[in-house]
Amino acid sequence: MRTVRVLLAVTAVGACALAGLPASAAPVTRPVAAAVAADTVVGTYYPLAPERLMDTRSGLGGRTGPLGARTVVDLQVAGRGGVPASGAGSVVLNVTVAGPTASGYLTVYPAGQTRPTVSSVNFGAGWLGSNNVTVKLDPDGRVGIYHHAGTTHVVLDVVGFYAGSDTVRGSHGRGGQYQRVTPTRLVDTRRERGPIEGNTLINRWVDFGPVSPHVRALVLNITAVRPERSGFLSAWAGDSPVPTSSTVNYAAGTVVPNLAYVRTATCHDCGPWYGVPIFAVHSLRATDIVVDLVGVIDDGTLPGGLRFTPLDPTRIVDSRANLGTSGALGPNATRRITAPPTVVTNATQVLATNVTAVAATADTVVTVWPADAGVARPAASNLNPAAGQTVSNAVLAGIGPTDTFAVHNLAGSTHLVTDVVGSFRLPPGAAPADPLQVVATGGY
């Protein structure tokens, strides 16, 4: 009897470790399932085809008519729109405000809890727009929506969810992890063909090299630039008819960005020998479109993937109250923001935030990126507030080794508010990986 010593190396969470054992005197190696790594899907993301859950204009979701001042509406989310009836810990929503009669804000939070002192969507009277909102579900799978002043219609579309327990695996399989990327501009019609016509779409494929087949969704910042009339953009995988949901809602002549988690399909005839992810953006009205890549959701198998932990919404910056930083950001000014230990751990790599520019004195651009990490300020923007505007956008803020991120304001001055709704971390025992790089992109 021979004793064979085997050294096992787990290379991916949930993968089998294989050992090579000599079967005879000849050097033949056979794969043997020797061990299975401990695995969980908690904190992984499941992209969904966009689906509308609430529209106060039609009564979808149980509320008919605009929300009044200081009104709270509870909305059932679990069990609808592809979200499982149990096991989802948090959801990613696109929240749209239509026809507000006064300046105000919405706060979306777990139903039944004390309303936190944060905002999810900020708007002025008559504003038309939307914001990406990640929010924990209460034990019954609900969210609460608070409206502050005046009246407004509210529309909610669900685009995905994060697993809160392993019960999701049985019905939905393995979820995806968040992969950091080198920020890349994928579309800018101002430098390509000019504004697209109304009721038309653009298609794009994105090549990340041989890891491309492992991509399940893209995290994009999508901006409508000076549309001719009020309308909306819809972003989706492009493998089905245009969805009835919206991603970016815009008024004529404005510059309106929104963060979007976009489920992808796969194209096998777009250039490389391997399949590459594809997506599409449709516009109701003629407009220029800018699309910046800010992250990737994989299939759960790539190294260095991050898992999401939802947090009770927490305000960490309010320059008006000297919280996190003091005073408005001036022209061409950069601030370093240190995340408090209440929202970060040693494993935290990225914060899921809602960043608000308050009372900008000029048309400007606000950009967020990791500080003290040797990363230059990216060319992409996170917010594009107009003079006098208070506007918010979801931002996945990477943090540097000192738990800091940087914020730059281009012109005029603006106050800054930042609320944290969750964090992305490395799973225990996992090693960080370099950001994914875009090799090529194109239309199809």
Tokens in use for 277? 């992810």
User: Are the CB atoms for 384 and 393 separated by under 8 Å?
Assistant: no
DSSP 91-143: EEEEEEEE--SSSEEEEEEETTSPPPS--SEEE-TT-EEEEEEEEE--TTSEE
Give the burial string for 101-130 (b: 16+ CB within 10 Å, else e). Answer: eeebbbbbbbbeeeebebbbbbbbeebbbb
pLDDT tens for each residue of 105-137: 999 999 999 999 999 999 999 988 999 999 999
Percent of the chain at pLDDT > 90 equals 84
User: Are the CB atoms for 86 and 109 separated by under 8 Å?
Assistant: no
User: Are the CB atoms for 378 and 334 separated by under 8 Å?
Assistant: no
pLDDT tens for each residue of 357-395: 999 999 999 999 999 988 889 888 899 999 999 999 999
Cα separation, 231 vs 283, whole angstroms: 8
Cα separation, 166 vs 260, whole angstroms: 26
pLDDT tens for each residue of 235-288: 999 999 999 899 999 999 999 999 999 999 999 998 788 999 999 999 999 999
Type of residue at 53: L
Residue 3 has pLDDT above 80, yes or no: no
pLDDT tens for each residue of 64-106: 999 999 999 999 999 999 999 999 999 999 999 999 999 999 9
- Cα separations (Å) of 29 from 11, 33, 104? 19, 13, 67
What's the pLDDT score for residue 396? 96
pLDDT tens for each residue of 274-290: 999 999 999 999 999 99
Cα separation, 275 vs 211, whole angstroms: 9
User: Are the CB atoms for 66 and 79 separated by under 8 Å?
Assistant: no
Continuous segment of H or E residues that includes residue 424 = strand 415-425
Cα separation, 219 vs 351, whole angstroms: 14
Residue 4 has pLDDT above 70, yes or no: no
User: Are the CB atoms for 413 and 376 separated by under 8 Å?
Assistant: no
What's the pLDDT score for residue 185? 94
What is the pLDDT averaged over residues 340-365?
Answer: 95
Cα separation, 147 vs 74, whole angstroms: 12
pLDDT band at 402 (very low <50, low <70, confident <90, very high): very high
Cα separation, 258 vs 219, whole angstroms: 11
> Taking CA 267 as the corner, what is the angle to CA 261 and CA 270, rounded to the nearest 5 degrees?
115
Residue 2 has pLDDT above 70, yes or no: no
User: Are the CB atoms for 177 and 303 separated by under 8 Å?
Assistant: no
* SS3 track for 299-343: CCCCCCCEEEEEEEEEEEEECCCCECCCCCECCCEEEEEECCCCC
pLDDT tens for each residue of 23-59: 333 333 333 333 333 489 999 999 999 999 999 999 9
What's the pLDDT score for residue 42? 97
CB contact set of 239 (below 8 Å; sequence gap of 6+): 265, 278
What's the pLDDT score for residue 24? 36
Percent of the chain at pLDDT > 70 equals 91
CB contact set of 343 (below 8 Å; sequence gap of 6+): 311, 314, 316, 351, 420, 423
Residue for token pair 């960043």: 355
Nearest to 358 by CA among 389, 327, 384, 330: 389
